[in-house]
């Protein structure tokens, strides 16, 4: 696979490390809150549960052997077609990543 | 006139003498070489040997053509039945003529004689026979063929399981093996190369040449690859005129133009063997396979990783055998191969021929045979009225045309005759004596690379062949590979594909004139098997799969194409069924009365032809498998005679042996004792080091570490524990604050890259608003640990006078910037892993060598000793510090007895999930120390069992993580994870180690064996 890094240009996948679904966001849990119910569900979901859709998927990739940028790569996991690549920086905070 | 074919060994022995004399008599003027023609160099004779006999060949020969030129027909024995086999094809699809090439360490098995380029001194031997090719004892397998048909392995070697390793497998390997590997280290080198282009053209036949020319003339960066050692493909093998010139000559002028184009790169002897996502192709270039040994500094082979914007697949087509009785006899050859031997190699593959084809390709074969002076006994064609052009060609050369089919080949080690059944008189067998049968079952486009990414080939009834289905993005297919079988269509299709590919890359096409070509017939009527066949009719020659095997598979229900393949092993040999798959599939379709598309098609996967693992490894072998990282103090440690060990990519000093040591333990004990009593120095440069700066650096570290870091005063260091988001410990290290907005952190050697990636994730993905920047400085700083009661004394000699490093000014856990040796910048950290008064001193890497030498010189009068990883490890176990064996990805801060470090006043990675009830369960294995109270040895990995309990998983209470002999205490000290942890101090347990056969009594104790009050490190 070839992934176009917005900073470095198109590079082979050997330069990248894969993390997984970019659509999960870290729950906000106040100090001292009990780990149960919706809070526990949210954390289990964030840490463990992942969808495995056929088709387009937003994923986190790290340009480990390049510029060290974390990227959100939109990839059709059935065809490996890369549909979009953007820097992760701020995208999740800004709510620009979620289910497709 | 002709005997029935026989496979009996006795028969083979009888044939031994006469045939060998005529076939292999040494002759300088190879008896089957035509006087003129071909593209072999008659001025360059080459000597080679086959099975120990010397023969002569010519430059431009393959081993196969050179053997045929010398009349050698029998070249191997088949895989399962050990049937005599000859040469079937003239290219990489060859299933039969596999030999062991070269000798000694360079011996390589299963080399196709049809692609082995002849060189002076080439030595090859036949394989899969014992004791000799002509007399093969294992040919008795043929007699047992009823019981070693399809599914034989699955049915016969099922039970008992214990027989498999000891009896069945060695037996099968001996009986049914192919060649032998060298069994010695490969003396050659292999390399990898990367290339980028606009248009990759795969194959240099008529379509590929035109595609490369059209794209090259347009100005595109073109890479043209061909697996052959000459460009031209079928243009070299056919006797056709293009623009009034012989086609090989015409190809020559095209090649000259291509070579003159600056953006065109031509790689011959290069097989594109795999298509991957996004225009990535892998190719193997046989750089020196045509030489006896590679020249100095020349790789034997080179694996190319080619990134192409567009690709034109012009890989041609592979001819199919016809399936009739004994169709594997040496002398039965593909028609296209016969023409290649005649036209390209100027070799007569026989003296009396019969042509058997179901398609109009027979016309060229008939004419070329006649032109070479080979008498054609008959032309057999199952087609009636549709065979008009073939009938006319036969008539033209005075050959009898028979509308019918060959039902059986006769002869043993070589073809002697064929039995023909004519449509008009099926009850009457005609027998034609011959030593060559040129057969053609039609051509299968080489669709392999078009389907590597999953696109299934599609069936064309008109062509009786699979053509490429959905293509990988960026690929187009031209010529015979696309099912364009006529020469004119190949040339036009190639030119069009090349121009379009260049156009897609932004290069305007320049006109490429179409040359003048005469018409040619390409009619075909499918004939998948001769139903009236007599004898074994082979479908897959290399794996000895016959029509009967497919029939058996059908009867037993293995009808789906993937089942058929695995049950019969059809298409699973080293040739991956290039000549066999379509016939096998079509026969199954006939048997099940389904269409071919309904029966399916097996998917092709890389590699297209076999690729040596060594070539894929390239230079990554032995010490070059991974890079080796050396610390700045490495040369110094080497001078001290250090024994090094690999930790990740690093080489680290394990211990420093001295004369008189009996073992590493003597050295280790000496180093520990010296450090505990005086002072020791250890190179800790391999620690991961990260420099963080920014107004939010402290806040960022608060969120990364389980303990607070923003509260760390400037000039102080703190031990830090990092969790994963799931609550388990990720890594530990130290954090030092050099300024309000400047931190320096260390990670363990093993986790350096991982922690860096984690920090990048946290900063970029989770908290992009934080004002913090950080960079790995692991390679920029050399770092040494100076430990022992005299450490300060040594350091005071090195640190420049203006810096006060007294215990008051620079107490335990102080950190700061100093200078050493008269102005060399350094960072000093008063941290201790050993439990002694200790410092870590960090200097820019370029001073690393000088500083370690200065430290040792300064410490010499005080008895300083360098210590290695063994001593480091012993001291950390004595002191009860957790290490990699305890931070194993399954332990929490609480498990490790570090829960007091975990802050409840701030958020951090892993905070919430570390509070899961299961991770707080009181019976989780937790960190303890133990002492041996028995007399047996104990090793890490031993399990804790209650005394008297039966060893079982149910009674397992934890395990030993670290254990060492403490020279300080004079006994064994150990650390482990035990259910209930520190609540069980004083209990006696068994350390049970069935792997090493050990079982020793231990007593649980505090993990801190040495100086539990910490007085020494604060001294
Ligand atoms: Zn990048």
pLDDT, tens digit (0-9, with 9 covering 90-100), for A53-70? 999 999 999 999 999 999
Given a contact cutoff of 8 angstroms between Cβ atoms, the answer to whether B721 and B898 are in contact is: yes
Interface test with A, best of B453, B912, B917 (most A CBs within 10 A): B912
Q: Which residue of A has its CA nearest to B472?
A: A79
Supply the DSSP string of B767-793, one letter for each residue: -TTS--EEEE-TTTEEEEEEESTTHHH
Look at B726 and A47 and tell me if their CB atoms are within 8 Å: yes
Chain A / chain B CB contacts < 8 angstroms:
69
Q: Which residue of A has its CA nearest to B775?
A: A68
Task: Strand A70-76: give its sheet, edge to edge.
Answer: A17-21, A56-62, A70-76, A81-87
Nearest CB neighbour to A1, from listed B277, B756, B767: B277
Q: Which residue of B has its CA nearest to A96?
A: B765
pLDDT, tens digit (0-9, with 9 covering 90-100), for B640-687? 999 999 999 999 999 999 999 999 999 999 999 999 999 999 999 999
- CATH number of the domain enclosing A44: 3.30.2270.10
Strand, coil or helix: B960: strand
Kindly state the tokens that stand for B1016: 């020494």
Look at A70 and B761 and tell me if their CB atoms are within 8 Å: yes
pLDDT computed for residue B7 by the predictor: 36
What contacts B639, CB < 8 A, 6 or more positions away? none
Ligand 1 centre from B280 Cα, in Å?
19
Residue B158 scores a pLDDT above 60: no
Closest listed residue to residue B48, CA positions, set B97, B92, B85, B102: B102
pLDDT, tens digit (0-9, with 9 covering 90-100), for B506-536? 999 888 899 989 889 999 999 999 998 889 9
Ligand 1 centre from A62 Cα, in Å?
8
Given a contact cutoff of 8 angstroms between Cβ atoms, the answer to whether B66 and B119 are in contact is: no
Ligand 1 centre from A5 Cα, in Å?
5
DSSP state of B148: S
What contacts B544, CB < 8 A, 6 or more positions away? B78, B79, B80, B81, B83, B538
The pLDDT mean for chain A works out to 90
* Residues within 8 A of A (CB atoms), B 689-728 only: 725-726
Strand, coil or helix: B400: strand
Given a contact cutoff of 8 angstroms between Cβ atoms, the answer to whether B74 and B412 are in contact is: no
Look at B305 and A35 and tell me if their CB atoms are within 8 Å: no
| Residue keyed to tokens 């990364």 | B704
* Residues within 8 A of A (CB atoms), B 915-974 only: 915-917
Per-residue pLDDT band for B935 (boundaries 50, 70, 90) equals: confident
Interface test with B, best of A1, A24, A47, A65 (most B CBs within 10 A): A47
Confirm whether A84 is domain-assigned.
Answer: yes
All domains of chain B, ordered by start, with CATH? Answer: 8-144 (3.10.20.440), 190-317+445-504 (3.50.50.60), 321-441 (3.50.50.60), 526-618 (1.10.10), 634-686+780-875 (3.30.1360.120), 688-776 (3.30.70.1400), 915-1019 (2.40.30.110)
Residue B574 scores a pLDDT above 50: yes
Ligand 1 centre from B151 Cα, in Å?
52
Distance from CA of B287 to the nearest CA of A (A): 25
Look at A70 and B280 and tell me if their CB atoms are within 8 Å: no
Query: What integer is the mean pLDDT of B953-962?
Result: 96
Confirm whether A31 is domain-assigned.
Answer: no
Q: Which of B401-410, B505-514, B893-902 has the lowest mean pLDDT?
A: B505-514
Task: Strand B108-112: give its sheet, edge to edge.
Answer: B53-59, B41-50, B122-126, B98-101, B108-112
DSSP state of B229: S
Q: Chain B contacts of A64, Cβ < 8 Å?
A: 753, 757
Residue B12 scores a pLDDT above 50: no
Ligand 1 centre from A19 Cα, in Å?
16
Look at B764 and A82 and tell me if their CB atoms are within 8 Å: no
Look at A19 and B761 and tell me if their CB atoms are within 8 Å: yes
The question of ipTM being above 0.90 is answered as: yes
Q: Which of B162-166, B257-261, B694-698 has the lowest mean pLDDT?
A: B162-166
Confirm whether A85 is domain-assigned.
Answer: yes
Closest listed residue to residue B855, CA positions, set B871, B841, B844, B869: B841
Query: What integer is the mean pLDDT of B743-755?
Result: 96
Residue B57 scores a pLDDT above 70: yes
Look at A17 and B765 and tell me if their CB atoms are within 8 Å: no
Interface test with B, best of A16, A27, A28, A31 (most B CBs within 10 A): A31
Residue B943 scores a pLDDT above 70: yes
Q: Which residue of A has its CA nearest to B907?
A: A31
Q: Chain A contacts of B305, Cβ < 8 Å?
A: 12
Q: Which residue of B has its CA nearest to A29?
A: B912
Per-residue pLDDT band for B163 (boundaries 50, 70, 90) equals: low
**Highest averaged pLDDT of the listed ranges B66-80, B326-340, B566-580:** B326-340
Rounded CA gap, B346 and B237, in Å? 10
Per-residue pLDDT band for B394 (boundaries 50, 70, 90) equals: very high
Residue B618 scores a pLDDT above 90: yes
The pLDDT mean for chain B works out to 92
% chain B with pLDDT above 70 = 93
Q: Which residue of A has its CA nearest to B308?
A: A2
Residue B203 scores a pLDDT above 60: yes
% chain B with pLDDT above 90 = 86
What contacts B738, CB < 8 A, 6 or more positions away? B714, B715, B744, B815, B816, B817, B827
Dmax over CA atoms of chain B, in Å, equals 116
| Residue keyed to tokens 């030119």 | B495
Closest listed residue to residue B877, CA positions, set B974, B970, B732: B974
| Residue keyed to tokens 């066999």 | B580
pLDDT, tens digit (0-9, with 9 covering 90-100), for B295-328? 999 999 999 999 999 999 999 999 999 999 999 9
Q: What is the 3-state secondary structure (H, E, C) of B67-133?
A: HHHCCCCCCEECCCCCCEECCCCCCCCCCCCEEEECCHHHCEEEEECCCCECCCCEEEEECCCCECC
Nearest CB neighbour to B278, from listed A1, A68, A88: A1
Query: What integer is the mean pLDDT of B137-144?
Result: 68
Confirm whether A30 is domain-assigned.
Answer: no
Higher pLDDT, B645 or A52: B645
Interface test with A, best of B764, B767, B770, B920 (most A CBs within 10 A): B764
Given a contact cutoff of 8 angstroms between Cβ atoms, the answer to whether B304 and B283 are in contact is: yes
Residue A86 scores a pLDDT above 70: yes
pLDDT computed for residue B792 by the predictor: 98
Ligand 1 centre from A2 Cα, in Å?
12
Look at A27 and B915 and tell me if their CB atoms are within 8 Å: no
CA angle B793, B880, B971 (to 5 degrees): 90
Ligand 1 centre from B472 Cα, in Å?
26
Kindly state the tokens that stand for B584: 């096998």
pLDDT computed for residue B418 by the predictor: 98
pLDDT, tens digit (0-9, with 9 covering 90-100), for B239-254? 999 999 999 999 999 9
pLDDT computed for residue A96 by the predictor: 65
Distance from CA of B600 to the nearest CA of A (A): 21
| Structural domains in chain A (count) | 1
Given a contact cutoff of 8 angstroms between Cβ atoms, the answer to whether B347 and B32 are in contact is: yes
Confirm whether A66 is domain-assigned.
Answer: yes
Distance from CA of A44 to the nearest CA of B (A): 8
Rounded CA gap, B55 and B28, in Å? 7
Q: Chain B contacts of A12, Cβ < 8 Å?
A: 280, 305, 307
Kindly state the tokens that stand for B300: 């034997």
Residue B155 scores a pLDDT above 50: yes
Ligand 1 centre from A87 Cα, in Å?
9
Distance from CA of A70 to the nearest CA of B (A): 7
Residue B517 has φ and ψ, to the nearest 5°, of -130, 140
Q: Which residue of A has its CA nearest to B724?
A: A47
Q: Chain centroid to CA B370: how far?
A: 47
Confirm whether A12 is domain-assigned.
Answer: yes
Kindly state the tokens that stand for B523: 């009619």
Interface test with B, best of A10, A46, A67, A70 (most B CBs within 10 A): A70
Strand, coil or helix: B33: strand
Residue B615 scores a pLDDT above 60: yes
Interface test with B, best of A6, A39, A43 (most B CBs within 10 A): A43
Given a contact cutoff of 8 angstroms between Cβ atoms, the answer to whether B98 and B344 are in contact is: no
Closest listed residue to residue B357, CA positions, set B389, B329, B331: B389
| Residue keyed to tokens 């070299």 | B236
Domain range for residue A8?
2-25+39-93
Residue B16 scores a pLDDT above 50: no
Look at A70 and B305 and tell me if their CB atoms are within 8 Å: no
Residue B834 scores a pLDDT above 80: yes
Rounded CA gap, A46 and A23, in Å? 9
pLDDT, tens digit (0-9, with 9 covering 90-100), for B415-465? 999 999 999 988 889 999 999 999 999 999 999 999 999 999 999 999 999
Look at A35 and B912 and tell me if their CB atoms are within 8 Å: yes
Look at B768 and A90 and tell me if their CB atoms are within 8 Å: yes
Look at A46 and B766 and tell me if their CB atoms are within 8 Å: no
Ligand 1 centre from A66 Cα, in Å?
5
């Amino acid at each position: 696979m070839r992934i176009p890094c917005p900073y470095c240009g198109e590079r082979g996948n050997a330069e990248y490390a894969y993390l997984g679904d970019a659509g999960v966001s870290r729950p906000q849990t106040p100090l001292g809150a009990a780990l149960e119910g919706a809070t526990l569900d949210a954390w289990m979901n964030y840490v463990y549960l992942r969808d495995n859709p056929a088709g387009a998927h937003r994923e986190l990739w790290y340009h480990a052997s390049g510029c060290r940028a974390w990227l959100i790569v939109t990839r059709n996991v059935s065809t490996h077609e890369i549909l979009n690549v953007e820097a992760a920086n701020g995208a999740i905070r800004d709510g620009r990543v979620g289910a497709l | 006139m002709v005997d029935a074919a026989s496979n009996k060994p006795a028969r083979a022995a009888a044939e031994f003498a006469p045939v060998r004399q005529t076939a292999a008599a040494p002759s300088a003027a190879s008896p089957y070489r035509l006087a003129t023609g071909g593209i072999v160099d008659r001025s360059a004779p080459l000597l080679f040997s086959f099975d120990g006999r010397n023969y002569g060949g010519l430059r431009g020969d393959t081993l196969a053509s050179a053997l045929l030129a010398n009349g050698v027909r029998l070249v191997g024995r088949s895989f399962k039945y050990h049937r005599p086999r000859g040469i079937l094809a003239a290219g990489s699809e060859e299933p039969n003529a596999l030999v062991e090439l070269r000798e000694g360490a360079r011996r390589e098995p299963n080399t196709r004689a049809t692609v082995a380029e002849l060189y002076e001194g080439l030595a090859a031997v036949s394989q899969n026979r014992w004791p000799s090719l002509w007399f093969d004892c294992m040919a008795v397998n043929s007699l047992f063929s009823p019981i070693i048909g399809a599914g034989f392995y699955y049915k016969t070697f099922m039970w008992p399981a214990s027989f498999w390793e000891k009896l069945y497998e060695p037996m099968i390997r001996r009986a049914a093996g192919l060649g032998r590997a060298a069994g010695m280290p490969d003396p050659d080198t292999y390399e990898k190369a990367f290339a980028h282009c606009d248009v990759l053209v795969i194959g240099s036949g008529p379509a590929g040449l035109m595609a490369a020319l059209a794209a090259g003339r347009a100005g595109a960066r073109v890479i043209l690859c061909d697996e052959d050692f000459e460009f031209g493909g079928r243009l070299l093998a056919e006797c056709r005129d293009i623009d009034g010139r012989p086609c090989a000559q015409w190809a020559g002028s095209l090649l000259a133009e291509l070579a003159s184009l600056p953006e065109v790169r031509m790689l011959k002897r290069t097989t594109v063997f795999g298509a991957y996502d996004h225009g990535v192709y892998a190719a193997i270039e046989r750089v020196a396979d045509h030489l006896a040994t590679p020249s100095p500094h020349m790789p034997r082979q080179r694996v190319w990783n080619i990134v192409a914007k567009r690709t034109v697949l012009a890989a041609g087509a592979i001819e199919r055998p016809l399936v009739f009785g004994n169709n594997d006899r040496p002398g039965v050859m593909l028609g296209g191969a016969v023409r290649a031997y005649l036209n390209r190699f100027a070799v007569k593959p026989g003296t009396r021929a019969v042509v058997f084809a179901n398609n109009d390709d027979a016309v060229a074969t008939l004419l070329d045979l006649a032109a070479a002076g080979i008498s054609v006994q008959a032309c057999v064609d199952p087609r009636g009225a549709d065979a008009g052009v073939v009938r006319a060609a036969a008539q033209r050369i005075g050959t009898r045309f028979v509308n019918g089919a060959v039902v059986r080949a006769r002869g043993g080690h070589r073809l002697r005759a064929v039995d023909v059944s004519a449509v008009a008189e099926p009850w009457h067998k005609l027998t034609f004596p011959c030593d060559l049968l040129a057969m053609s079952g039609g051509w299968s486009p080489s669709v392999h690379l078009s389907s590597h990414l999953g696109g299934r080939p599609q069936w064309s009834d008109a062509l009786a062949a699979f053509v490429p289905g959905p293509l990988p993005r960026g690929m187009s297919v031209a010529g015979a590979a696309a099912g364009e079988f006529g020469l004119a269509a190949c040339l036009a299709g190639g030119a069009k594909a090349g121009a379009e590919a260049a156009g897609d890359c932004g290069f305007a096409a320049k006109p490429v004139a179409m040359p003048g070509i005469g018409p040619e017939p390409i009619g075909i009527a499918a004939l998948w098997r001769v139903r009236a066949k007599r004898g074994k009719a082979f479908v897959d020659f290399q794996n000895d799969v016959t029509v009967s095997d497919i029939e058996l598979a059908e009867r037993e229900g293995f009808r789906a194409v993937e089942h058929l393949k695995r049950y019969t092993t059809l298409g699973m040999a080293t040739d991956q069924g290039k000549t066999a798959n379509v016939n096998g599939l079509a026969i199954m379709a006939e048997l099940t009365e389904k269409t071919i598309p309904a029966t399916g098609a097996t998917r092709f996967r890389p590699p297209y032809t076999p690729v040596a693992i060594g070539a894929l490894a390239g230079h990554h072998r032995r010490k070059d498998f991974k890079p080796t990282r050396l610390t700045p103090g490495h040369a110094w440690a080497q001078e001290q005679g250090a024994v090094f060990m690999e930790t990740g990519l690093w080489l680290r000093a394990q211990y420093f042996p001295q004369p008189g040591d009996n073992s590493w333990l003597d050295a280790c004990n000496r180093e520990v004792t010296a450090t505990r009593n005086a002072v020791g120095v250890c190179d800790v440069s391999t620690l991961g080091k990260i420099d963080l700066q920014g107004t939010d650096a402290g806040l960022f570290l608060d969120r990364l570490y389980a303990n607070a870091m923003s509260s760390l005063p400037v000039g102080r260091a703190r031990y830090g524990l990092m969790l994963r988001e799931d609550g388990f410990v990720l890594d530990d290290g130290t954090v030092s604050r050099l300024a309000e907005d400047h931190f320096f952190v260390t990670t363990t050697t093993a986790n350096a890259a991982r922690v860096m990636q984690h920090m990048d994730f946290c900063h970029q993905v989770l908290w992009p608003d934080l004002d913090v920047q950080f960079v790995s400085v692991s390679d920029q700083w050399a770092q040494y640990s100076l430990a022992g009661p005299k450490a300060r004394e040594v350091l005071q000699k090195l640190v420049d006078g203006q810096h006060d490093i007294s215990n008051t000014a620079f107490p335990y856990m102080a950190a700061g910037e100093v200078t050493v040796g008269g102005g060399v910048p350094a960072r000093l950290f008063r941290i201790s892993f050993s439990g002694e008064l200790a410092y870590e001193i960090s200097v820019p890497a370029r001073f690393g060598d000088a500083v370690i030498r200065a430290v040792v010189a300064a410490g010499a009068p005080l008895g300083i000793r360098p210590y290695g990883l063994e001593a480091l490890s012993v001291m950390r176990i004595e002191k009860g510090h957790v290490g990699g064996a305890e931070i194993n990805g399954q332990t929490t801060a609480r498990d490790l007895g570090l829960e007091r470090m975990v802050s409840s006043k701030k958020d951090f990675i892993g905070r919430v999930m570390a509070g899961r009830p299961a991770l707080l369960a009181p019976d989780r294995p937790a960190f303890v120390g133990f002492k041996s109270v028995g007399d047996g040895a104990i090793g890490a990995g031993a399990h804790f069992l209650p005394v008297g309990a039966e060893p079982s998983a149910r009674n397992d209470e934890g395990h030993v993580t670290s254990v060492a002999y403490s020279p300080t205490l004079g006994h064994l000290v150990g650390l482990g994870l035990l259910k209930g942890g520190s609540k069980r101090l004083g209990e006696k347990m068994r350390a049970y180690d069935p792997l090493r056969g050990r079982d020793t009594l231990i007593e649980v104790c505090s993990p801190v064996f040495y100086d539990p009050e910490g007085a020494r490190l604060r001294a």
